[in-house]
Chains A and B, each alone.
Chain A
């Protein structure tokens, strides 16, 4: 059995590098014509740099070109695909089948997006015969579904393992179009499924303790990774192209550890519940396994309004380290101060310490770091490296 690919989201070049550094085997990233139209999508120059960076590490970059095209996009998209071929991306992720012929002519490998909601072995067979090299399965697939699909097809299967998910069948929601005039299948989704609504039975209001919403909990398959691996899933995908570097680093590192621990010793592997806590700490909603075990009753819903927690525990990122003076140069991401207990982690290491000495850029001693992106120096006894993350465990 081959080790499956760990596939991470990359909202931009910075997050692409972080994801690969923290253990992803491949990343997916958007340029033009993708479903995250309102993020600062990558330019061709960024994508080129990202692909070169990844290939040097023997890793891969897939570019999302996953909108449902309207006529005008059909005319503009081919030159863009040619550019993607030139910069040597490893595959494009599409949802519109109109792109298959174009991609084949250009010589691009094609993965079919989850937007197509592929749920069964016959659909998979169709795409396999069409020359698609990988299917991102619908999130509604159960363990039995994945098993049967894998056993009956040769094509690569990609499965979501972590992150937010649509309340609808993917591709089958246009709430955004109707309520906000933003096209959900062309990247304008305004997440109406997370809004609260009043529920009525004809004219009578039906009220629970919290308002009605479509909102679902997030997905987390940490505990079931060995099951997915044993089913022969080829790629394990993390959702979240709009998430922070800290989130990406934490989630990728955690799943990397689980996959490696399982592969290193399958017979004695035991699920480490500590990983669940780490993932929970960076989540902004509760997580659950969703459809994998065939249960999609009331436990999948999330009735907590839009009160989502933010990661204020992420206090900084290491820019460099002076081994002689044991000083880490740090860029601030959230307020912290002398006396706080922190953890600094990199792709393979983790150290805990109490902040004692903080210096500003002129090496003056300071007590509080309160300005966004402020550059400071921290005394750190054990070696750290660029792009290590600093989280606050306990504030003074």
Chain B
């Protein structure tokens, strides 16, 4: 049985969907990216009172001058007694050891969490969960679940990040050509993609909302509410297998190629 986990965008939303959720996934301020809203330690503490599992995202690439901030944040998170930290940067594993932290870690190098050998490698280093890449097939996800010693997270609903840069690509364009307003979408070959440029850099999202209605073999299936209106999102959570939005399975049944014949 999958646990229903949700990436939230407000405390009000977290409270509103409480009965349909097993775990909240919460982007923390300053050290997470790809999500509309980030949360303070105090806000996470408040969500913790809803008595569900809580995982916090620290999923940005950590620059050397951010280590101090990271250490301080990790110490504060440790006091919250949450279920895990979903991380991108490998410094998290080192700091867990150095600071003797008890909070579990979730390996989430976004597009690089693609096989059971690497997942088991990190498991042996004390990382007990892997948040799998959204560019895997259903068969690959199942095989990882069979051969991995830890627990898996798999995205099943929401926009997917495709590109993350430290550069502020929209700002740079606006500055170069002295434009008066910024953009938030890019267009190519009849498709629009959201682009978010903020002080941490730039993220570009998929043109579609992933909407998987199939049974997926994973410990946690993830519903991302970002950029989705709250009523629609609630409807999805009520019965995701029979929701009314168009089905979109991403790469589940579409293997990517890498050698062009």
Contact = CB atoms under 8 A, between A and B. Distances in A.
| A, B: real partners | yes
Given A199-B173, A200-B183, A179 B61 contact: no
B239 interface: no
B188 A71 contact: no
B164 A173 contact: yes
B93 interface: yes
Interface in A114-159: 115-123, 125-127, 129, 138, 140-141, 144-145, 148-149
A195 B188 CA distance: 9
B182 A298 contact: no
B248 to A, nearest CB: 12
Contacts of B135: 174, 177, 183
A209 interface: yes
B192 A200 contact: yes
A171 interface: yes
Contacts of A95: 112
A301 B61 CA distance: 21
Given A168-B165, A300-B167, A120 B176 contact: no
B186 A199 contact: yes
Interface string A179-199: 101111111100001010111
B32 to A, nearest CB: 14
Contacts of A201: 181-185
Given A70-B136, A181-B254, A301 B176 contact: yes
Interface in B42-88: 61-67
Contacts of B163: 167-168, 172-175, 193, 214
B34 to A, nearest CB: 10
A212 interface: yes
Interface in B108-163: 109-112, 114-118, 120-122, 133, 135-136, 140, 143-144, 147, 162-163
A123 B62 contact: yes
Interface string B167-207: 11111111111010111111111001001000000001011
B258 A186 contact: yes
Interface string B78-104: 000000000001110111001000000
Nearest to B134: A174
A212 B95 contact: no
B183 A199 contact: yes
The 4 closest A-B pairs by CB, nearest first: A208-B177, A188-B258, A98-B117, A122-B91
6 contacts: A69-B114, A123-B94, A126-B90, A148-B64, A174-B135, A297-B172
Interface of A: 37-38, 67-71, 73-74, 95-98, 100-101, 115-123, 125-127, 129, 138, 140-141, 144-145, 148-149, 167-169, 171-175, 177-179, 181-188, 193, 195, 197-202, 204, 206-210, 212, 214, 216, 291, 296-298, 300-301, 303
